[in-house]
Amino acid sequence: MSLPRIYPLIFKNVFSHMDAEKAHHFGFNAIKAAEKTGAGALLRKATAPDPVLARTVMGLDFPTPFGLAAGFDKGGDGTTALLDIGFGHVEVGTITGQPQPGNPTPRLFRLPADKALINRMGFNNDGAAVIASRLMTSQAKLAERNYRTRPIIGVNIGKTKVVELADAAADYEFSTRRLAMHADYMVVNVSSPNTPGLRQLQEISSLEPLLAAVQRTADEVTGRRVPLLVKIAPDLADEDVKAVAQLVLKLDLAGVVATNTTISRAGLSTDPHEVEQLGAGGVSGLPVKERSMEVLRLLRAELPTEKAIISVGGVTTATDVYARLVAGADLVQGYTAFLYEGPMWAHRINTELAMMLKAQPIKRG
């Protein structure tokens, strides 16, 4: 029996009986341990993406369009280990200027009937200064490895909870000054539902000066044009999505990450009373799939091909990734399905996606 088929049994018999956050840490620690024991080199060789998957986006060369969304590697302490198992990029974070513990536990819940999660993590992380050092180490490791195409590290930044909205721009700038040097690209997260008031920053009047300040700071610190994207929620109205696209053009940003989790509970198969008992938080996984695709199409209609769209939300299979690429995504990310599918998930998607692209290439531009 192959490893990809073993994991569902492990999940059913072990992880499904554990607290979701504890299970996450257990699995993540196992991936990091593989790197430390030397198995990472073997995994890199075994999971190396087919060259047909390589693409250039935002001036960066990606070994595969499929990557890991922010939220899994919040602290940047397992980035290279995750890149060992087939992800073309890992988006680290969300990172805040100051360290913070996040919301009280429990704060991560599975909805197996919906292949979904509810989370109200609250940007728990060690802060920009500490994580900057880890990212520097990760970049050095990648530089030493013999890749056909080096995987990419993205950095996702958000607002520190105790910082007032009026001071948000300064907080984001603080993080940018410490992190930009170690980021291949950066993402401004203004769309998590788990930091009070954060989504108010998606309003164009607040978003424009914030993004302009982060881009200016990143460029000053690094001496280069840092690809900067903004991550938006699926709950934005269509006209607001279009307004964000126009702002990307106005500020000449690299693009958009779409979408984050949703505050909606519509269409869930899980018993409504059970969902209500779990409390507040953002829903990710399959329930976001349809709206995420809608937002992708809206953005692609508004943005020229040189502006990147990273599509995330409800991605489970290689067919899902292929469909996002056909619809105009430049890169595709997953997260929730990783917890259900296991450590060989990215490799399986890459293998199947390569076959699809060889059979029916996607014409870009």
In the numeric block, which tokens belong to residue 265?
A: 């509970």
What is the CATH code of the structural domain delimited by 3-359? 3.20.20.70
Averaged pLDDT, 340-357: 95
Tell which wins on pLDDT, 353 or 25: 353
> For this structure, is 192 an active site residue?
yes
Catalytic one of 138, 175, 192, 292: 192
- Residue 36's pLDDT is what? 87
Mind listing the pLDDT tens digit for each residue in 95-115? 999 999 999 999 999 999 999
**Residue 146, annotated ligand binder?**
no
In order, the DSSP letters of 295-331 are: HHHHHHHHS-TTSEEEEESS--SHHHHHHHHHTT-SE
Question: Is residue 313 predicted with pLDDT exceeding 50?
Answer: yes
- Residue 190's pLDDT is what? 82
Length, in residues, of the chain: 365
Averaged pLDDT, 188-208: 75
Q: What is the pTM of this model?
A: 0.94
Whole-angstrom distance, CA of residue 269 vs CA of residue 197? 29
Averaged pLDDT, 335-349: 92
The neighbour count for residue 203, using CB atoms within 10 Å, is: 12
Predicted confidence band of residue 365 (pLDDT cuts 50, 70, 90): low
In the numeric block, which tokens belong to residue 60?
A: 């960066």
**Residue 72, annotated ligand binder?**
yes
Mind listing the pLDDT tens digit for each residue in 119-129? 999 999 999 99
**Residue 261, annotated ligand binder?**
yes
Tell which wins on pLDDT, 146 or 78: 78
Whole-angstrom distance, CA of residue 58 vs CA of residue 327? 18
Predicted confidence band of residue 319 (pLDDT cuts 50, 70, 90): very high
Averaged pLDDT, 267-285: 94
Question: Is residue 215 predicted with pLDDT exceeding 60?
Answer: yes
- Residue 192's pLDDT is what? 67
Averaged pLDDT, 140-155: 94
Mind listing the pLDDT tens digit for each residue in 47-72? 999 999 999 999 999 999 999 999 99
- Residue 3's pLDDT is what? 44
Predicted confidence band of residue 16 (pLDDT cuts 50, 70, 90): low
**Residue 36, annotated ligand binder?**
no
- Residue 173's pLDDT is what? 97
DSSP 138: H
Of the candidates 354, 263, 254, 351, the one whose C-alpha atom is nearest the C-alpha of residue 306 is 254
Question: Is residue 267 predicted with pLDDT exceeding 80?
Answer: yes
- Residue 95's pLDDT is what? 98
In the numeric block, which tokens belong to residue 171?
A: 């907080």
Tell which wins on pLDDT, 45 or 96: 96
Question: Is residue 298 predicted with pLDDT exceeding 60?
Answer: yes
Predicted confidence band of residue 5 (pLDDT cuts 50, 70, 90): low
- Residue 1's pLDDT is what? 34
Mean pLDDT of the chain: 92
| Exposure class string for 49-71: b at 16+ Cβ within 10 A, else e | beeebebebbebbbbbbbbbbbb
- Residue 293's pLDDT is what? 98
The neighbour count for residue 214, using CB atoms within 10 Å, is: 25
**Residue 75, annotated ligand binder?**
no
